[in-house]
Amino acid sequence: MEDSSLFQMPLAEVMSTQRAIRKVDPDRPIDDAILLKLIEFGTRAPSSMNKQSWEFIIVKDPTVKAKLGSQNRFMWNRVKGIMTRKAEKDPQFAKVNSATQWGVDHFENYPGMIVACFQGPRLAYPPVVGASVYGSILPSVQNILLAARSIDLGATFTTMPLWSNWRARRILGLPWSITPCVLITLGWPQGKYGPTSRKPVGEVTSLDQYGNRPWKT
Ligand SMILES: Cc1cc2nc3c(=O)[nH]c(=O)nc-3n(C[C@H](O)[C@H](O)[C@H](O)COP(=O)(O)O)c2cc1C
């Protein structure tokens, strides 16, 4: 895709405005060229030893979407009670909850879905292997989220539809050697989205020793 007007948003703006967009227009499709360009940006990310051990599945088939949607709903129904109790004490959490519920209810209608997978064994030991496995796929996912944001395409990072790797593998026809990690839902946003709410930098940054927070105001 060579439309030079696309993907031109300044990086700082992209990074500071990217957020989970769940309410999208179900009837407005996303061109394959855009989906492939997003994945191409994904493949520009770092990976352990530059092994580029990723595999991306674009999901279009309504039957496959329905099966993933049912997995998503299954997991959400298991955790919803805990989330609802948490939301009673935290209005911010309540917002995430109701947005997540919306995403679960309308999952099958997302015009675009990309499942980002890791290729290779996922050993349990030593602990750094975990960092190397997920560290080899999550930067590519973030690139895709940022690239989507830069063209005003809504995207959400989701894991619940893949809660059972075993089931997700069966649904997507993945061999055992491939681990589905993140499902990104995509679509053109409906309505307006405000800014993200994030903790101030000074609250999450220490100097030299954990808890020494000179930048906290
Ligand atoms: C590891 C991880 C797992 C997530 N899983 C889900 C999910 O299964 N379903 C969902 O709707 N959102 C999921 N999210 C999206 C988060 O809820 C969202 O990024 C967060 O609430 C911030 O939203 P905001 O960017 O709109 O402020 C996940 C995000 C991350 C990083």
Express each pLDDT in 44-77 by its tens digit: 999 999 999 999 999 999 999 999 999 999 999 9
Question: Residue 73: what pLDDT?
Answer: 98
Which residue from 97, 48, 105 is spatially nearest to 73, judged by alpha carbons?
Answer: 105
d(CA 36, CA 31) in angstroms, rounded, equals 9
The pLDDT value given to residue 1: 57
d(CA 35, CA 212): 44
Q: Is the pLDDT reported for residue 124 higher than 60?
A: yes
Q: Which amino acid is at 28?
A: R
Query: Which one has a higher pLDDT value, 131 or 201?
Result: 201
Ligand 1: residues with CB < 6 A are 19-20, 96, 100, 103, 156-160, 196
Q: Looking at domain 12-204, what is its CATH homologous superfamily?
A: NADH Oxidase (3.40.109.10)
Q: Which residues of 63-101 are buried (b: 16+ CB within 10 A; e: fewer)?
A: ebbebbbebbbebbeeebeeeeeebeeeeeeeeebeebe
| pLDDT value at residue 131 | 85
Give the model's pLDDT for residue 132: 85
Give residue limits of the domains in the chain. Answer: 12-204
Is the pLDDT assigned to residue 182 strictly greater than 90?
yes
For position 140, what pLDDT does the model report?
98
Write down the pLDDT at residue 20. Answer: 97
Across 71-100, average pLDDT:
93
Q: For residue 197, give the ligand 1 atom closest to its CA.
A: 27
Give me the mean pLDDT over the 175-183 stretch: 96
Residue 100 Cα to ligand 1 midpoint, Å, equals 8
Nearest-atom index, ligand 1, CA of 75: 8
